[in-house]
Structure formats: structure tokens, C-alpha cells
Chains A and B, each alone.
Chain A
Amino acid sequence: MKPAPFSFVRPQGLQHALEALAADPGAKVLAGGQSLVPLLSMRLAAPSTLVDINALPDLDHVRVDDSGVRVGALARQADVLGSDDVRRVQPLLSLALSQVAHATIRNRGTVVGSLVHADAAAELPMVLTLLGGSVSVASATGTRTIPAAELYAGPLESTLHHDEIAVEALFPGLGPGEGVAFEEVSRRHGDYALCGVAAVVRVEGAHVAEARVGYMSVADVPTVVDLTTALVEEVAQRPSRRARNQGELSDQAVSAAAELALQHLDPADDLHASSAYRAQLVRVLTAHALRAAHDDAVVRGGAPG
């Protein structure tokens, strides 16, 4: 389990890195390496050149501003997870990060690297998609911003061009009335989830105004389903104003939401779980995540009226 030979550059400036990448169609970017290096050692990937971007200046930032959390290409997952600003501005990112592999991996692994690795079983691509974030990329010829909805083309396939380097990701912050939750079931602590679910629920007064849920490991690409209708209809049908104001989602509502979600998902069989079991996890975790996100929204917004 040793990598095949490759050439190596460790540029000190972004322009140099972009030129090196453009110069070799077989070149690949090395950031944290926590996903890439195992593939190299198993010789499942054999790039002719590795462009090590770890020495590039000014790319390790974790910043919060009005639009949300901005994470530079060299910011390690541990740094983002450890940021109180991030937790405040977009708690879902922190919740998801705490489920990414193990602490030692997060020390090297980068947030942006995970996003462009485009694994549908990974937490961060799904969270970026759910939050409607984006990735800024640069090439020798210019820069562009790819919205999350356009970032994922297929399993382990992003829409970045070969000569582009992702330099920053934007995770929009928590909006007014919003609450979030993240739930996953994995075989061992730190493994890829058999099914992972993140929810963003927005309440207006006692009403659920919006409920969007993201799924990992139950479709080929990170998938987000809008479940607002299932919850809104249900709330309207509650027998009394009092029940509507109790601030809890009913069993019927969350199970209707889960069934709606399943129509958009394609849970598959693999070594660790049957498709039927994954569908069950979609049901269970959707319910848990919706309830938790709803509670979170209520707590953040004060008790419902």
C-alpha cells in the first residue's frame, strides 16, 4: 500500500499553484490529504503531479460576517469546530463537524477539501447544500462562485474544473426564526453514517414556516428535501388553537414528512445496512431531526405565542 510515483510542487503563492495545476492535466490538489492519501496508497488514484497547497498564504481563515461563515481552503476542520463564532452564526456547521471522522483526522482535514471531495456519505457537502452555501474557486484565468446546488454532479464528482482550486466556502448563517439539528446513525463512532439527517426549521410564531432537511448516505449526491408542506398542513389540521400553540410536532406530521422525503431518496443496500433499514433510519432520524430543529427554533426565538 504505497502510492505510485508522482511529481510534487509546493507553491508559495496561489497563482503559482494554479499554473502548476493547469500545466499538468494529471495534476491533483493536496490539502489536508485525509481522503486523498488513502486513495493514493491503495493506488485507486495515481495523479502525475500533486500540487500541495498547504504553504499558500492567507487561506486558513475562519471568518464570520453578515452573510455567514467563510472558511478558507486551508482551515482545518478542528479549527472550524473549535470556533465559538461559527457555533453562534451557524450552529449546524459545528454540529455536523463534530460527527466528521475522529479528532485526529479533523486536525489535518480541511472543510473545503471535504466539500470538493463530494462524498454523498460525508457530512459537510450535505450541510453546505442544505444551507444553500457556495464555494469560491480560482483558476489561472479567473474566479467564480459555485452555488452548492450546482456543486455536485455525481458520486465523488464535483463540478470543479480540473484547473480550479476551491479557495473558500460560504456557509450562510442561521436566519431569524430558524432552528437546526443534526442526527446520524453510524456503525462505529466516527464511521461514515449509514444515514445522516440535518434539518433547518423556521418558525413564525407558532407556525412552521419552512422545513428543509438534508440527507447523506441515502442518495448518490447530497440531497435536500423541502418538507414544509407536510408540516404546515399538519399544523393547520390540529384540532384547537391550543394544540397548535403547544410547540410540538405531532407523530403524524413527522412521519408524513419522512414519507415525503423518502420519495426523493434512494437508499441502497451495502455491506453495513439494507435499503429497508436505511429507509427506516430516514423515518426515525427525520422525525428526530425535525423535532429537534423545531425545538431549537422555538428556544432561539423565545416560547411560541
Chain B
Amino acid sequence: MSEELYDVRLTVNGVAHDVRVPARRLLSDALRHDLGLTGTHVGCEHGVCGACTVLVDGRPARSCLMFAVSAVDSSITTVEGLTRDDGTLGPVQQAFAECHGLQCGFCTPGFLTTITAGLADHPSPTEDDAREMVAGNLCRCTGYTNIVKSVLRAAALRDGRRTPSPGTEESET
């Protein structure tokens, strides 16, 4: 007996993808294995670590706590969607590079998406705001010091350039 499959259209980084998946396919798995967008990482599959965080209609959400079949009406942004169209790094990505905000890089995509949305809501965070912004994501390598620095640096870069990254545009609508 074969499992029932559902036709689903997922809109990811502005592109519509049609996939056939069983109801139980987690959004994280659909993004990674059906769409090949492996930038979204899976660290715990119970919603605690935050590595799989993507933006759903501009807001951070755990993709391991959603089913692909439930994501049909949403616009999803993954880490791949944070890079500018010309291939340069968006402000949050650039800040992480400058501040050594990552080591193994596994948790990083979840931080990048979360901060992208966070800065859209709070463009000028204090250090405490920066900490609050990333308080739901686990990192085992960095000790967070440089991640907090990266948030502040990203805010400055965002300010200076006045060119929001694709992810922030979405969350401002």
C-alpha cells in the first residue's frame, strides 16, 4: 500500500516549485531534499535549536515544525534567498563574515534568517535587543559573542547602504 501523495506548490525565494509529497513531509525536508535548497539545516527536529529557521511570509519560523502541505499559501525565504541578485552578500551575511560570527556554519542559516527579519522590525538594536533577537537559536561553536557583534554590524551595514536584502523587503510588506 503506497502512501497518498499531495501536489503542493511551494513559493521559495520568489520562485514557485511544484512538488508531490506525502502529508507528513516536513517543510525542512521538502526544502532540502525535494527542492535541493540544502542551505536550511536540520539540527534537532523538535523545534529547539533553530538551525532550520526560515522566513514564512517574512517572519521567522521553524521549518521542522511545519509540513510542506501546510506551506502552500505562504511565501518562504531561505538562506539562499538572502544573497543579493548580483551575487554579493546581504548585510547580515556580510556582517557575519566580518565579525567571525560563525565557525562550523551549521547553525548559521537559522541565525541569518532570524536576524534578517529581526532587523526589519528593529533596525537599530541595542546590544540587549541583539541578544534578544538571537535568543531562540543554538550555536555550539561561537559562544555567541561574535553573533551579537554581527547583529550590530549588520544593522550598521543595512543603515549605511539603504539597500535592504530580499528577505527584509518581504518582511516589511
Contacts and interface: CB of A to CB of B under 8 A. Distances in A.
Touch A–B, Cβ below 8 Å: yes
B123 interface: no
Interface of B: 3-4, 6, 22-24, 26, 29, 45-47, 50, 53, 56, 59-62, 64-67, 69-70, 72-73, 114, 132-133, 135-137
A102 B132 CA distance: 9
Given A41-B46, A50-B23, A190-B135, 17 more contacts: A2-B26, A2-B29, A2-B45, A6-B23, A7-B4, A8-B23, A37-B66, A37-B67, A40-B24, A54-B73, A102-B135, A102-B136, A103-B60, A103-B132, A104-B62, A108-B61, A108-B65
Nearest to A188: B135
Contact of B136 (A41, A54, A105): A105
Contacts of A301: none
B136 to A, nearest CB: 3
A55 B73 contact: yes
Contacts of A108: 56, 61-62, 65-66
Interface of A: 1-8, 10, 30, 33-34, 37-38, 40-42, 50, 52, 54-55, 78, 101-105, 107-108, 189-190
A62 to B, nearest CB: 16
A192 to B, nearest CB: 12
A104 B51 CA distance: 12
A107 B70 contact: no
Interface centre among B4, B65, B136 (most CB of A within 10 A): B65
A3 B47 contact: no
A34 B63 CA distance: 11
8 contacts: A6-B23, A30-B67, A30-B70, A37-B67, A38-B45, A41-B45, A102-B136, A190-B136
